[in-house]
Amino acid sequence: MLLARRLFLVVAVAALLCAAAFVAGYALDDQPSARPSASGTGTVATTDPTPTPTASPTATPTGTPTATPTTDAPTPTSAPTPTRTPKPEPEPTLEPGPRLLGPGDQGDEVRDLQARLKQIYWFNADVTGVYGDITTTAVRGFQAKREIPVTGEVDRRTLDRLYSMTATPTDAELHNRGTLPHNGPGALDPRCRTGRVLCIDKTSSTLRWVVDGAVQQTLDVRFGASSTPTREGLFHVYLKDADHVSRLYGSSMPYSMFFSGGQAVHYSSDFATVGYAGASHGCVNVRDYDGLAHLFAQVREGDAVVVYRS
């Protein structure tokens, strides 16, 4: 019995060994076989070519591709906020001061006012001491020229400015005796001493109406600018026109008395307004409207006109 078991074990082991050899041989048949090389030396292992896998087709994207921004592109910046310029503060409007003198007033203060205005050619009438329409107009013109609130009434600003431009009136100025010292006419030109003559003195800026050597009337006048001077010499009135209007300049020339070409003695509203700050285009300007109206009535065509410097 024991022998049979050992025999059985030997047979079993032999069977296992045969199976193992069979499996090993089968495995060796799966390996690449060796074959002689072309040079006869060694062997070259041969293998079945390994198939190269075919790449799967890549799907083509559809639609419009979205551009990817690059870092080189400038980064947009926000527009600067405009700086608001502050509006300038409006200049304060000058207000007139308390009234010191005005229409309806009378007395020495008004007389002094009129005389001072007359010194600078804003008041063209007799000094009366009565604050009427003529004085009001003169004050308004004086204020407007100097950018003082135009009221026609005198306040402290108006009076101070007037005082700075004038001298203390003399008794003669306050009572209409004689002419102002700085505007006093000089000696009569010899040509003015005979007959009826408009004697016009450029040095003193005066016109004197002279009959047979006697002065009948004196008026303040102004003349042409340097580019349009008033001619000097002996002339005669060749035309009178109380309502003349300049065809060249379109300006009114009341009580015109022509004596040389287009030059004439006539009333000038500009002379009455701005005084000697202005000039004519060659004519002899008069600023006393009533005084010139009186003279116009006296003068005849043919009367002499003498323009000279004393």
Q: What is the pTM of this model?
A: 0.45
> What element of type H or E holds 110?
helix 108-119
Flag whether pLDDT at 27 surpasses 50.
no
The class that CATH gives domain 183-308 is: mainly beta
Report pLDDT digits (tens) over 64-99: 444 444 444 455 555 555 556 665 555 556 789 999
Report pLDDT digits (tens) over 119-176: 887 887 888 899 999 999 999 999 998 999 999 999 999 999 999 988 898 887 887 7
Structure tokens, 175: 């009572």
Share of the chain above pLDDT 90, in %: 49
Apex 271 CA angle, 246 and 261, nearest 5: 35
Q: Which is more confident, 180 or 94?
A: 94
What was the pLDDT predicted at 59? 45
Angstrom distance (rounded) from CA 147 to CA 10: 149
What was the pLDDT predicted at 121? 78
Flag whether pLDDT at 53 surpasses 70.
no
Angstrom distance (rounded) from CA 258 to CA 301: 9
What order of strands is seen across the sheet that includes strand 239-245?
233-236, 304-308, 196-201, 206-211, 214-222, 284-286, 263-267, 252-260, 239-245
Flag whether pLDDT at 111 surpasses 70.
yes
How would CATH label the architecture of 108-174? Orthogonal Bundle (1.10)
Mean pLDDT of 214-226: 92
Flag whether pLDDT at 293 surpasses 90.
yes
Flag whether pLDDT at 245 surpasses 50.
yes
- pLDDT band with cut points at 50, 70 and 90 for residue 263: very high
What was the pLDDT predicted at 249? 81
Flag whether pLDDT at 222 surpasses 70.
yes
Flag whether pLDDT at 40 surpasses 90.
no
Instruction: Assess whether the region 108-174 and the region 183-308 belong to the same CATH fold.
Output: no
Q: Which is more confident, 183 or 269?
A: 269
Flag whether pLDDT at 42 surpasses 50.
no
Q: What ranges do the domains of the chain cover?
A: 108-174, 183-308
Coil/strand/helix, residue 94: coil
Report pLDDT digits (tens) over 299-309: 999 999 999 98
Least confident window among 102-116, 176-190, 289-303: 176-190
Q: Is the dihedral of CA 134, 140, 144, 148 positive or negative?
A: positive
Computed over every residue of the chain, the mean pLDDT equals: 79
Burial of 96 (0-12, 13-18, 19+ CB in 10 A): middle
